[in-house]
Structure 1
Amino acid sequence: MTNLRVSQVFGVKKEMVLSYIERDQVDEKFKQALKTDKHIIVYGSSKQGKSALRRKHIAEEDEVLVQCGPNHDIQSIYGSILRQMKIQIESSMSDKLLTHDDVDAKGKFKVNIPFIGGIDAELGSKVGTSREQVKNYRSFDINLDVAQDVGEVLLAIKFSKLIILENFHYLEDEIQKRLAFDLRTFQDMGIRVVILGIWRERNRLNQFNGDLIDRITEVPVEPWEDVDFDKVINKGASLLNVELTEQIILKIKECSFGNIGIVQEICKELFTASGITESSSTLQIIDDESLLDKAIKIKVEDYTSRHQRALESIADASRSYEGGLFLPYYIVKIIILSEIQELKSGIKRQTLHTRIREIHYQPERVRAGDMTNLLHGLSNLQGKKSIVPPLFDYDRSDKRMKVIDSSLLFFLRFSDRSELLEEIPNPLESDIPDLLS
């Protein structure tokens, strides 16, 4: 039997790791939802198993996957779905075949749908005879901005796959809102969509379209319970024929902040630091906590570049912030100074407002409306700064700013925060020192 590599068992990667476990409150709910006619919304913080859940229970041949990005609009999303189904998309204004980036602003297109099974034609010539596949097409004039038009094309080819919209959170709010309304149309037509997004509040899409109530099933991938982590760690260790002490397992869970991705990565680094790269015929025991400290240090170093750069980028947005309030800089400062547990549970908007006023150079100018505008635009700000995945999200129903990438909590827990704060450029000092006078 071929030995298993540690990278096959533990870690965060595109492929399924062998330490994956099914959880009744998540996997069973997802499997039951697949049997219904409802759309499915899978949500939770970054690296909490959303994509793994999808790959576990939906075969690649049964889905059409669209990886959403900040620049996607309705046309590019629907165009991608049709192209993946081998449907030609042409401009209604010319015979030019459109590429992915060549989009008619008015949304008017002609689509050519191939008949199932082409016909073979023999083409003779003086040189010889050759055969080529000749395809017949039916043409439709459609508007790629209209879900009804797109749905009719899909029904014409007897479409039966699931449409997967991954990274839904990267889309601008207006696009998310439009898609929330289109979901009603698609469900009426028997076309189902699975949405995966990084956020932590319930009823996210219902806030855009209340008519989706009873038409979607929400599957949160959080929380991960201690017993779940025990199962993952022990399953992976067993596959590699390794045993970890209870104290080491406890410490892994304590520093993971409830994030399975961090557990997976620390286990991978711990086994590597212990000199274990693959499964062995003899039982190996990991009981040296210094090796775990080494693994944690490696992950802190891995996260440092990304998180420091992300915090600096958000703070740097202060330079273009209207009115010289520099609120992005101040919110980064509050985040660095806050307790880890508070960041994990989320900070109320009013609390953020109060704390910023306490340290702001002109506190009387910081109004509640300014805070609301900042928090509502937090997602777009991170998108413009290419912070992938996003670190924060604002729950409008609960009025809390939440950390949605637990690796930031891990990074802050094991970093020198006073030193980190010194690295964040202060716009007052670098751009307009006269404001202090």
Structure 2
Amino acid sequence: MNVSDVFGINSEVRLESYVDRGDLDTAIGKLLVRNTHIALKGESKCGKSWLRQKNLPNAIVVQCRLGRGAIDIYVDALSQLGVSFVVSDTTTGKIEGRVEATGAVGEGLLSKVFGLTGSASASAGASRESIQGKGVVGRDINDLRYVAELIRESRRHLVVEDFHYLSVEERRKLAFDLKALWDYGLYVVIIGVWSQSNLLIYLNPDLTGRIEEVSVYWSTDDLKGVLDTGGAALNLRFNAEFADELANLSYGNAGILQTLTIRALDALEIVTAPRTSVEIADKEAIQTAALHYADQLNALYQQFAKRVARGVRTRKDSTGIYAHAMAVIMDASDELSIRGIPLDYIFRIANEREPRIQKGNLRTILEKLEGLQVDEAGRGLVVAYNEADGEVSIVDRQVLLYRRFSTVSWPWEELIEEAGFDS
């Protein structure tokens, strides 16, 4: 067996190093048989997708992307069932909602839901009649009923991944749709990165009692369990000090642990499982792995810094506040970054540097921080602001390892000088 069959970042779950941390498999299993939506939240690369694959192997999975909305989610989901969801009739200008079978599976679903028979081209109006002049398919309650019936009839769960890539408005729209889908007996699994507790209920209070939020996080013992499980599969025994060092440098993140582990084994020139049990104890291999990992992350976070700086420069009236806020956030201790950086802490440090910064203005800046970070595809979120708790969280913990093992040059001080603020 190759080391890469067990350790490393993989798009598909690796059962040899999979750990049911905190009995989440059991918790998810209970929720899946109940009449409830499920929201899985956790920072980037914390294992949300593996958890989903392990517990929902045959799900309809829709990936959110920047610029997409709730309707696109339904179109994507139905297309995976062999059903074409026609949103509009461009020839007449009328907004219509109808579904058409594009294969045998889709034809079977339409037959069951609409009572249709015949060829795969058979179609049915999703709302029985065209919607003219106003409204959009998927926003009308009747349209959602047919979408829900078709997916429910497939006997598969609908999973919406990367929820955080939707715009704020589309998140709110989907949150309201979830109430209607619950009424129609379709229970959805939402997966994404957010720091706010019960975000979807915050977006739509009517979801109270209709959705369960599950946080995906790792204790040190859970991370060591990954090493024990994966090591056993490879005939490797990780020394206690070696395991402690790997876990500490992983910042509570399974993805970082997986990457550091395979790179450390590379440094030790262990590519395949040895015939007899081998103890892994050389901690210098971890340092080598971390330095190599940080070097590869350099391009990622320098691009992040450039995006933020470019976005800040377009906001001339608040350039100094943005820059001071970013400086405080990115200089916060590891412990504070993981636990959450309070608004009061950011204000205290920023205000000491520049007395003209006011807490109200700083709060407004933090609420807009997310939009500065993501690229054209909506990817690249590193820090997030929780309006409810008034805290900034590091949602991409790789940046903590990066700044520890690299000489980081952030553009914040330059931005402060450009704005005419004295540091």
TM-score range, shorter chain: 0.7 to 0.9
| Structure-2 residue corresponding to 1:373 | 364
| Structure-2 residue corresponding to 1:50 | 48
| Structure-2 residue corresponding to 1:244 | 238
Q: In 2, distance between residues paired with 1:353 and 1:316?
A: 23
| Structure-2 residue corresponding to 1:33 | 31
Q: In 1, distance between residues paired with 2:328 and 2:56?
A: 41
| Structure-2 residue corresponding to 1:346 | 340
Per the normalisation by structure 2, the TM-score is: 0.87
SS at match of 2:385: strand
Tell me which structure has the larger Cα radius of gyration: 1
Per the normalisation by structure 1, the TM-score is: 0.84
Q: Contact 2:324 / 2:350 at 8 angstroms: preserved in 1?
A: yes
Q: In 1, distance between residues paired with 2:254 and 2:281?
A: 22
Q: Against the structure 1 CA distance between its residues 341 and 135, is the aligned structure 2 distance closer, same or farther, given a 3 Å change threshold?
A: closer
Q: Against the structure 1 CA distance between its residues 145 and 380, is the aligned structure 2 distance closer, same or farther, given a 3 Å change threshold?
A: farther
| Structure-1 residue corresponding to 2:130 | none
| Structure-2 residue corresponding to 1:123 | none
Q: Contact 1:70 / 1:383 at 8 angstroms: preserved in 2?
A: no
Q: In 1, distance between residues paired with 2:214 and 2:87?
A: 39
Q: In 2, distance between residues paired with 1:152 and 1:192?
A: 13
Task: Tell me whether 264-273 or 369-378 shows the greater mean CA deviation.
Answer: 369-378
- State the Cα deviation string for residues 282-311 of structure 1 (Å, max 9, x = none): 222222221121111111112222122212
Mapping for residues 11-410 of structure 1, pairs under 5 Å: 11-17=8-14, 18-60=16-58, 63-90=59-86, 92-94=88-90, 108-113=96-101, 115-116=107-108, 134-142=119-127, 143-146=136-139, 148-154=141-147, 157=150, 158-222=153-217, 224-360=218-354, 363-364=355-356, 366-384=357-375, 388-410=379-401
**CA displacement at 1:136 relative to structure 2:** 4.7
Q: Contact 2:307 / 2:375 at 8 angstroms: preserved in 1?
A: no
Structure 1 counterpart of 2:7, which letter? F
For structure 1, the residue ranges without an aligned partner over 5 or more in a row are: 97-103, 119-132
Q: In 2, distance between residues paired with 1:207 and 1:94?
A: 37
| Structure-2 residue corresponding to 1:128 | none
Q: In 2, distance between residues paired with 1:10 and 1:405?
A: 20
When the two chains are superposed, the root-mean-square deviation of aligned CA atoms in Å is 2.6
- State the Cα deviation string for residues 325-381 of structure 1 (Å, max 9, x = none): 333322222233322222222211122123222223xx42x3333222221122222
Q: In 2, distance between residues paired with 1:376 and 1:412?
A: 24
Q: In 1, distance between residues paired with 2:321 and 2:75?
A: 38
**CA displacement at 1:87 relative to structure 2:** 2.0
Q: In 2, distance between residues paired with 1:368 and 1:50?
A: 35
Structure 1 counterpart of 2:125, which letter? F
Q: Contact 1:109 / 1:144 at 8 angstroms: preserved in 2?
A: yes
SS at match of 2:17: coil
Name the structure where strand makes up a greater proportion of residues: 1
Q: In 2, distance between residues paired with 1:155 and 1:416?
A: 52
Q: Contact 2:66 / 2:376 at 8 angstroms: preserved in 1?
A: no
Matched, 1:412 2:400: no
Q: Against the structure 1 CA distance between its residues 75 and 387, is the aligned structure 2 distance closer, same or farther, given a 3 Å change threshold?
A: closer
SS at match of 1:412: helix
Q: In 1, distance between residues paired with 2:302 and 2:109?
A: 55
Structure 1 counterpart of 2:70, which letter? I
Q: In 2, distance between residues paired with 1:426 and 1:242?
A: 48
Q: Against the structure 1 CA distance between its residues 107 and 259, is the aligned structure 2 distance closer, same or farther, given a 3 Å change threshold?
A: farther
Q: Contact 2:41 / 2:193 at 8 angstroms: preserved in 1?
A: yes
Q: Against the structure 1 CA distance between its residues 36 and 275, is the aligned structure 2 distance closer, same or farther, given a 3 Å change threshold?
A: same
Task: Tell me whether 169-178 or 107-116 shows the greater mean CA deviation.
Answer: 107-116
| Structure-1 residue corresponding to 2:131 | none
SS at match of 1:116: helix
Q: In 2, distance between residues paired with 1:256 and 1:381?
A: 26
SS at match of 2:203: coil
Q: In 2, distance between residues paired with 1:24 and 1:425?
A: 42
Q: Against the structure 1 CA distance between its residues 44 and 319, is the aligned structure 2 distance closer, same or farther, given a 3 Å change threshold?
A: same
Q: In 2, distance between residues paired with 1:387 and 1:303?
A: 19
Query: How many residues are matched?
Result: 401
Structure 2 counterpart of 1:277, which letter? V
Structure 1 counterpart of 2:173, which letter? R
Structure 1 counterpart of 2:108, which letter? I
Q: Contact 2:351 / 2:358 at 8 angstroms: preserved in 1?
A: no
Q: Against the structure 1 CA distance between its residues 149 and 378, is the aligned structure 2 distance closer, same or farther, given a 3 Å change threshold?
A: farther
Percent identity between the aligned chains?
A: 25
Q: Against the structure 1 CA distance between its residues 201 and 432, is the aligned structure 2 distance closer, same or farther, given a 3 Å change threshold?
A: closer
Q: Against the structure 1 CA distance between its residues 150 and 52, is the aligned structure 2 distance closer, same or farther, given a 3 Å change threshold?
A: farther
| Structure-2 residue corresponding to 1:126 | none
Q: In 1, distance between residues paired with 2:343 and 2:395?
A: 16
Q: Contact 2:264 / 2:289 at 8 angstroms: preserved in 1?
A: yes
Structure 1 counterpart of 2:399, which letter? L
Q: Contact 1:311 / 1:332 at 8 angstroms: preserved in 2?
A: no
Q: Against the structure 1 CA distance between its residues 343 and 80, is the aligned structure 2 distance closer, same or farther, given a 3 Å change threshold?
A: same
